[in-house]
Amino acid sequence: MGDLLLLLVVFLATFLVGGLLILRIPPRLHTPLMSMTNAVSGITVLGAMLLFTKAIPGWWLSVAALAIVAGAFNLVGGFTVTDRMLGFFQKRGTHDE
């Protein structure tokens, strides 16, 4: 139960801190920001991989494998596409400075 309480505190604290930071991001970067945070939620892939270390009946493992595919798609695709987008933003900026 102590662990769970800790998790709840972590949840609330990061929610607040993250929220305060996000209020400062200029609207022009909202799409890349959303795409980046979106990629972060792909960290569920960690949970999916950890499932394999537990005793799980047969075909549930294929469900866990599907979760890995989806999570990896989210994680890798998200960071890659954000990087591409921010590349467009940088192109000019680097010329001018």
Partner 1 sequence: MSEPVRLVVDVAVLSVFLLGIWWFRSSASARFGNRAVATALIVGVCLALIPAPWEGVVGHVVVILFALAIGSTAGAITAARVDMTRIPAMVALQNGAGGLAAALVSLVELARSSDDASMGDFARLAAMLGLTIGAATFAGSLIATGRLANWLRSSSTVLPGHNVLAAGLLGILIVSVCLGLILNDRSPIPLVIGLGTLAVVFGIVMAIRVGGADMPVLISFLNALSGLAAAFCGVAIGSRLLTACGATVSASGLILTHAMCLAMNRSWRSILWAGASVAAAPAPAAQASGQRDDSEVSPEDQAVQALRKAEKIMIVPGYGLALANAQAPAVRLAEKLAQMGKETKFAIHPIAGRMPGHMHVLLAEADVDPDLLFDLADINSEFSQTDLALIVGACDVVNPAAIEVEGTPISGMPVLLAHQAKQVLVCNLDAKPGYSGVDNPLYQDAKSILLWGDARENLNRLIERLADPSFHAENQA
Question: 29-88: which residues touch partner 1 (CB under 8 A)?
Answer: 29-57, 60-61, 63-88
CB of 32 to partner 1, least distance (A): 6
> Counting contacts by CB under 8 A, is residue 2 touching partner 1?
no
CB of 8 to partner 1, least distance (A): 8
**Distance in angstroms (rounded) separating the CA atoms of residues 30 and 42:** 19
Please count the CA atoms within 13 angstroms of the CA of 8 that sit on its side-chain side. 5
**What is the chain's percent helix, strand, coil content, to nearest 5?**
85, 0, 15
Q: How many residues bind partner 1 (CB under 8 A)?
A: 87
CB of 2 to partner 1, least distance (A): 11
